[in-house]
Amino acid sequence: MRFTLREWSLGLAYKTMSLPIKIISTDFDGTLHSENEVPRVPKHLELLIARLQHQGVVWVINTGRDLNHLEAGLSLAGMSIRPDYVVVVEREIYKHVEGRWDSVEAWNTECSRAHEILFQQVKRSLPIVVAEIENRFQVTIYEDRYSPLCFIAEDVETAAEIHKYLDGVFRDLPELTVVRNHVYARLSHRAYNKGTALAELGRLLNVSRDHIFAAGDHLNDLPMLSKDYAHWVVAPANAVPLVKEAVLRESGWVSDLDCGHGVAWGLERALAMHGLTFE
């Protein structure tokens, strides 16, 4: 027997089925959202997520942006819905409560503490590392509150080379990782990423990976595009090759559609496998 989500919302399917998806984790840039489209988030996807949220599904935007930058992006996108949670800077979790963002304090405090300790060890070698990178590559290097070393490379190839160089320099610090998205990168603690933050959200909400859907397009999404953290892993058509390969390795789905259209396709495919359609 098949049901539309509207029938579901009216309770017609109540006694025979349960929604398979309980948490939706979407990256923002290049996944949910595209600056090259109008609207930036497809209306169809917005309606689909709204309908699922109405049924109790929790939606989290899992992004490399910080909270202010994400808020700006959401406002510019003109969306009528807001996520229930956000993971920002690929590691900090906030809950949406009556128009404000409440820190998930236990996780965020432990995350900050781990990074503080790790970055103390890194700082000693940073002057030499920064000088070497500036000498070899066309790049802008800076420090922010999340990482003692961030860079913006002139192109993706240069970013990949610097990434490789840093992996080599810090090979004796296994807890340290370089988190890269396109030409941008920062240093981070390996234990805190989009995947582990999603797992923490599942733990807090008592939702197992069997009911989690994750979609992303770039390298910083790789930790959450894993069957360790999500039953459904989806990449839109515009995802970088390494992400598409990882998703297929995890028996996930790569859409023929870009950005939010690909996410909507993945969500609908997951629902259809459980007899639900969105109309």
Q: Smallest distance from the beta carbon of 268 to Mg ion, in angstroms?
A: 21
| Closer by beta carbon to Mg ion, 27 or else 200 | 27
Q: Which of residues 146-185 bind Mg ion (CB under 5 A)?
A: none
Q: Smallest distance from the beta carbon of 27 to Mg ion, in angstroms?
A: 4
Part in contact with Mg ion (CB under 5 A); list of ranges 8-16, 30-38, 188-196, 234-242: 30-38
Any idea of the CA torsion for 184, 87, 234, 14, to the nearest 10 degrees? -170
| Closer by beta carbon to Mg ion, 21 or else 224 | 224
Cβ-proximal residues to 183 (8 Å cutoff; 6+ apart), any chain: 152, 153, 154, 155, 156, 158, 159
Q: What are phi and psi of 28, to 5 degrees?
A: -95, -75
Which of 29, 96, 86, 93 is CA-nearest to residue 61? Answer: 86
| Closer by beta carbon to Mg ion, 202 or else 260 | 260
Query: What are the structure tokens assigned to 238, written together?
Result: 């515009």
Is 29 an interacting residue with respect to Mg ion (CB under 5 A)?
yes
Q: What is the DSSP string of 11-43?
A: TTTTTT---S--EEEE-TBTTTB-TTSSSSS-H
Q: Smallest distance from the beta carbon of 216 to Mg ion, in angstroms?
A: 6
Is 30 an interacting residue with respect to Mg ion (CB under 5 A)?
yes
User: Which of 27, 90, 200, 258: binder of Mg ion (CB under 5 A)?
Assistant: 27
Which of 22, 27, 24 is CA-nearest to residue 236? Answer: 27
Q: Smallest distance from the beta carbon of 32 to Mg ion, in angstroms?
A: 9
* Binding pattern for the stretch 218-257 against Mg ion, x by CB under 5 A and - elsewhere: x---------------------------------------
| Closer by beta carbon to Mg ion, 30 or else 266 | 30
Q: Smallest distance from the beta carbon of 88 to Mg ion, in angstroms?
A: 13
Give bridge partners of residue 270 from the DSSP assignment.
Answer: none
Query: What are the structure tokens assigned to 3, written together?
Result: 């049901």
Q: Under the rule (CB under 5 A), what is the footprint of Mg ion?
A: 27, 29-30, 217-218
